[in-house]
Amino acid sequence: DVKVTQSSRYLVKRTGEKVFLECVQDMDHENMFWYRQDPGLGLRLIYFSYDVKMKEKGDIPEGYSVSREKKERFSLILESASTNQTSMYLCAGSTGDEMGRNQPQHFGDGTRLSIL
């Protein structure tokens, strides 16, 4: 069974902290994604990666960066956390070229991040 694991279900940090959200997949997927989900809005793509050390900006990359040093791990970094980054963060993986646009995505359970 495919598995995408996010390091924390719940996380509380303070404004200005550097925050790392980790995601690991065991499916050998080329593509990995970070989304955030806020009330009344659909999932919004922050960044994705289609290969090791490769990354592309999504819709809302401001205030975030990512790292993909190994195929199975994709990290989301909040350089200096702010209260407007309080949200649910979801990681996903998929196979295929061109961002795997015609392939299903496999999601982690999400990290609910609160910035105080």
Contact residues toward another protein (CB under 8 A) are 4, 33, 35, 40-45, 48, 56, 58-59, 90, 92, 98-99, 101-110
Please report how close the Cβ of residue 59 comes to another protein at its closest, in angstroms.
Answer: 6
Q: Which is nearer to another protein, 59 or 116 (CB)?
A: 59
> Both ends of the chain: CA-CA distance in Å?
37
Beta carbons of 29 and 110 less than 8 angstroms apart: no
Report angle CA 7, 65, 46 to the nearest 5 degrees.
80
Output 48 or 74, the one with its CB closest to another protein.
Answer: 48
Closest distance to another protein from the beta carbon of 68 (Å):
15
Q: Distance from CA of residue 92 to its chain's centroid? A: 7
Tell me the sheet residues that pair with 10: 112
CB of 110 to another protein, least distance (A): 7
Q: Are 76 and 21 in contact (CB under 8 A)?
A: yes
Q: Which two tokens stand for residue 48?
A: 């994705």
> Which one, 33 or 64, has the nearer CB to another protein?
33
Q: What is the closest distance, in whole angstroms, from the C-beta atom of residue 101 to another protein in the complex?
A: 5
Residue (19 or 110) nearer to another protein, CB: 110
